[in-house]
Structure 1
Amino acid sequence: MAPPSWIILSTAPHVSADALPDGADLSLALATPPRLSHLTVSTRVSSADPDPDARLKSPHVLAADPSGLLLAMTPPPLSESSPPTERVRRGPDGVEHTFTISYIPDPDYAVLDVVSATAHRLPDHDIFNAGCLGVIAAPGAKASGFMVVEFQFIVGGTGASLHCFSSQTGAWVEKDVRNPLPRWIWNFNNVVSHNGKLWWVDTAAGLLACDPFADNPDMAYVPLPENDDDNRDDGARGCACYYCSERQIATRRRVQLSNATFRCVQITSARKTKDHAHDTAPATVTMRTLADPETAHWTLDYKVPFADIWADHTYKAAGLPEKEPVLAFIHPNNPDVLYFSLDDYLFAVDMRAKKLIECEAHESGVSSSSLLAWELPPALTAPAAGVPENGSNDESATAASA
C-alpha cells in the first residue's frame, strides 16, 4: 500500500540504539490519519543517557520543512560539568540559609532529513528561545542544503536579529532585521517554511515573514483578522491588560497552512451577549483565509456553532460528549476539515457538512503541542492504489534509508 500524502506526526521521537536500519540515523513509521506516525532516532542523534540536570528530558520536534527536514531539540548527554556548590546566605532575621548552585546544560539541536534518514547536529550557539527556531531548505540546493534560523528581539527595540546556521558554510551568522511591533512580547506558536520564506506565527499578534537567505532580509508583518467585542469571551474580557487579553484569545486560535494558504481558525466559547445579559451566544468555530499577504486581507470562510455538529447523527454515533473540544490542527490539504481533541480522542469534522468524519482513541491522550500535521515530501509518497482516504485499513509503513 502507498503511504499517505500527509501524516499526524508525534513530536516526541523514540530513542533507540538498535531498532533502525544499518547506517540510518532515524526512521519514520507512517500511519494514515487519524492515527499517529512515530519517529525513531538513534542514540547518535539523542543520547540514551541524558544529563539528569538538563531541563529537557526527551527529544522534541520543533519545526518542519516540506522537503522532508525536521528540526529537533534533544537533551544533552551526561557531561563532566563542575559539581554543584553550596552557598550560604544570612537572612534579615540573622538565620543562615544554605542553597545549591549547579550548572544546567543547554539542549542540543539537530536537523533530521527523513528522506535520507540522516541527521545533522548543529554546532553550539547561544539560542535564547527554541520556540523562535525554524528550518528551511536552501533554494535550488542539494537535498541536504538547509538553514536554521532563530528570531531574537528585545522588547522596546525597533531592531531585531536573525541568528542563522547554514549547512553550506557550517557556521552561524547574525543578520539585522526590523522589529515591526517593538513593544510586543513575541511568543511564537510555530515557525513555518513556505514559499521560500520562514513565517513566525504568533496567534495573538500576527505573522512575521522573510527570506533568511537574503543578505539583508526584509521582515514583513501580517496582522491577524480583527476581533470585535462579540468575539471576546468572558475570560478575555476579564483580563486587566490588552496583552493578557490577546493572549487569552490566542489559546483558542490556530494559524496554519492548508492547501498552501494560511488559515486562521478561532473557537469562541458560549457566553452572555453584550446587549442581553440573559441571552447566551453559542460556542462557535470561525475560519478565515489570508487572501493577500501583501495587504493582510483575510476573508471569512465559515462560522459554525458547535451545537450544529453535536446534533448530527455522525457525532452522536461516536459517543462523544457535547462539550467544547480543543482545536488540534487544520487538515493540511482541505481547510473545510478541522481536527479536535477531546478527552482521549482525536476526531475530524467536515465543518461545512457539520459531520464527524474520523475519530480515534489515544490511550496516552493528545494535545496540539504534541502533534504536527505534516505533508510528506514526494520521495515518501510513491503512488499506489488501494489506500483508503480514511486509513481504516491502512497498515503502518516505515520510511528510512537502507
Structure 2
Amino acid sequence: MSLRRLLGLYSAAAAFPGLLRRSFSFTTSGTPPPWAFIERSTEAAEGLSVRLRYPPSLSTIRVPKRLVRTSPAPDHDADVIQSISGSVCSASSDGLLILSYFDLRLEAPILAQRGAARLRKTPADLAPGYGAHCTHFVCNPVTGELSCLPDPRTSDPVSKVMCGLHTGLLTRADGGHDGPPDRFALAELHGNQMVRFLSETGEWEVVPVSPCQLPDARRMVLDHDVVAFGGRLWWLDVTCGAVSVDPFSDRPELCFVELPRDSVLPAAAQDGCDCAGTSGCGESPQHRRLCVSEGRLRYIEVAREEPFVLSTFALDEEASGWTLQHRLDLSRFRFQFQDYCPHPWLPLKEGDTPQIGFLDPLDDSWIYMSATIATLEDTPRVVFVVDMKKEDVIMSSAYRSGIPSFVPCVLPPWLGSSQIPSAGSDSLLNLLDY
C-alpha cells in the first residue's frame, strides 16, 4: 500500500471503545442543513469539532486528539517521524459517517541540525518494521456522538486483510420503518471474502460471499468510494460495472450490474491497474463514480479528453441496467461577464482535466466537479457546479487545499434526536470529561 494513499485517506487509532457523547454548537443558525458535503480529510484536533454548513459551503469534522491511541513517539534524533492522519470514509443513507485513522511511521532522515532544531528530508515512504494501525469511529454529525469500534484481535484474520480504505456503512431499522436505525454494519470486500463489523455482535469477522457471474471472467478492481443504496453496499469497478452485497446477511451474495454498454472497457484495460485506479485501466475515481440522488443510484462519467462529455445514468427498478438521464459537452461552456457568478477560467481546454465530485443528493441535475486549470497560476484548482438541466456552470470557486475530495451526506430531521446503535460495548464516556 502506497504512502500517498495512506496519508490521503486515513490516520490513527482511538483509545476508548464504546460510545462518546457531547454537545456542540453549529456554525449555522442552529438548524442543520438537509444535507452537507464534508471534507474527506480530517485531523485529530484539540476537541471535537463539527462544522455543518449549508451547501455549497464545505462542512468539516475533527476528532479529539486525546481520544486517539498511538504508540510511543519516535526518539527526537531518530530518522523516523510519527504521522497521524484521518479520513471521512463514507456515509450511510441516513447520515451516519465512518471516520478512520492511521498511526504511521515515516522515513524522514535528519539532514542537518542546529541545537534542538532538526532539518529533515521530506517524508516519502513508510518506515520499515512499523505497522499502520487503523481504527474506525461511527459518527452522528448532527449530535456529535461517536462510537469507537473495537480493534480486531491480533490473532484474528481480519487484522491481516482489513485496511479500511474502501469500507462502507449500512444501517437498518427493525420492521423496515423509515426512521432511526436499530443496527449498523461496516463492510469491505476482498475477492470472495467480506470483512464486516456488525453492531449486534460488536465483533469483526471474515465471511465468504457467493460469487456472481462477471463478463469475460474478469476480476473486479474495487478501489472507489462505497455507496449505500437499497439495503446493500455498492462498489464500482470503473472498467466494467458495480457489485453489491447485503452485509447483514448470514449468507451474503454478490450481485453485478454492468456499466452502460459504451462505458465498458475491455478486460485487458485492467492489466497493471493499481489500487489508485490511475494506471492500466486509464480511469480514476475522479472520472467515473457511483452516487445516490433523489432516491436512485446514479452512475456518472466525464471524458478525460475534449470535448469533456459529462453523462449521468440512473439504475432501473430491476437493478439490471442503466438509463441515460443527462449528457452535456463541458468544453462548449464559455466565459460570460455575469453579475451573479463570473467564471473567468472557462472554457475548459485540453489539459484542464475536469473531475467528478458528486451529485447533489436532493437534485440529480446538480453535479459538483473540479478542474485543474492550466492557465491559472496561483489557484489552479477550481470547484464548480454544473446544472445539467440549464446546461450551465452555476457557481465556482478556487480551492487552495490540494485535491478536493468530499463526502455527501443526507441529514434527515430525526438524526438530531437519535443515537448510534450499540456497538457491543457498555463503556460510555463523555468527551467533556477529557
Tell me the TM-score normalised to structure 2 length: 0.67
* 1:15 aligned onto 2:44: yes
- Counterpart for residue 42 of structure 1: 64
Deviation digits for residues 113-169 of structure 1 (CA, Å, limit 9, x no counterpart): 33442232332241344233212224329757322112121xxxxxx1222212221
- Counterpart for residue 183 of structure 2: 145
* 1:265 aligned onto 2:287: no
* 1:102 aligned onto 2:99: no
- Counterpart for residue 58 of structure 1: 85
Query: Which of 87, 111, 118 does residue 146 from structure 2 map onto?
Result: 118
* 1:253 aligned onto 2:288: yes
In 2, Cα distance between the equivalents of 1:47 and 1:41?
A: 12
Query: In the alignment, is the contact (CA less than 8 A) between 1:312 and 1:355 conserved in 2?
Result: no
Query: Which of 370, 374, 383 does residue 346 from structure 1 map onto?
Result: 383
Shift of 1:60: 0.9
Helix, strand or coil for the counterpart of 1:215? Answer: coil
Shift of 1:50: 8.0
- Counterpart for residue 33 of structure 1: 55
Q: Map of 1:2-401 to 2, 5 A cutoff?
A: 2-17=31-46, 19=47, 26-47=48-69, 57-76=84-103, 102-116=129-143, 117-124=145-152, 125-126=158-159, 127-140=161-174, 143=181, 145-153=183-191, 160-180=192-212, 181=214, 183-227=218-262, 246-248=281-283, 252-270=287-305, 282-295=307-320, 297-310=321-334, 317-323=342-348, 324=352, 325-342=354-371, 343-367=380-404, 370-379=405-414
For 1:151, the aligned partner's letter is L
- Counterpart for residue 117 of structure 2: none
Helix, strand or coil for the counterpart of 2:85? Answer: coil
Shift of 1:380: 5.3
Shift of 1:9: 0.2
- Counterpart for residue 16 of structure 2: none
Shift of 1:318: 2.2
Closer/same/farther in 2, CA of residues 37 and 73 from structure 1, 3 Å limit: same
In 2, Cα distance between the equivalents of 1:132 and 1:170?
A: 20
Aligned residues: 333
Query: In the alignment, is the contact (CA less than 8 A) between 2:82 and 2:104 conserved in 1?
Result: no
Closer/same/farther in 2, CA of residues 286 and 54 from structure 1, 3 Å limit: farther
Helix, strand or coil for the counterpart of 2:133? Answer: coil
Q: CA RMSD in A?
A: 3.6
Helix, strand or coil for the counterpart of 1:310? Answer: coil
Query: In the alignment, is the contact (CA less than 8 A) between 1:287 and 1:301 conserved in 2?
Result: yes
In 1, Cα distance between the equivalents of 2:169 and 2:222?
A: 18
Deviates more, 1:255-264 or 1:339-348: 339-348
Query: In the alignment, is the contact (CA less than 8 A) between 1:46 and 1:75 conserved in 2?
Result: no
Q: Which has the larger radius of gyration?
A: 1
For 1:290, the aligned partner's letter is L
Deviation digits for residues 160-218 of structure 1 (CA, Å, limit 9, x no counterpart): 12222122211123322123346414223111222222122233332211221121122
- Unaligned residue ranges in structure 2 (runs of 5+): 1-28, 75-79, 106-126, 153-157, 274-278, 372-379, 418-429
Deviation digits for residues 273-328 of structure 1 (CA, Å, limit 9, x no counterpart): xxxxxxxxx33111221123432x21112221123322666598222232242222
Closer/same/farther in 2, CA of residues 240 and 177 from structure 1, 3 Å limit: closer
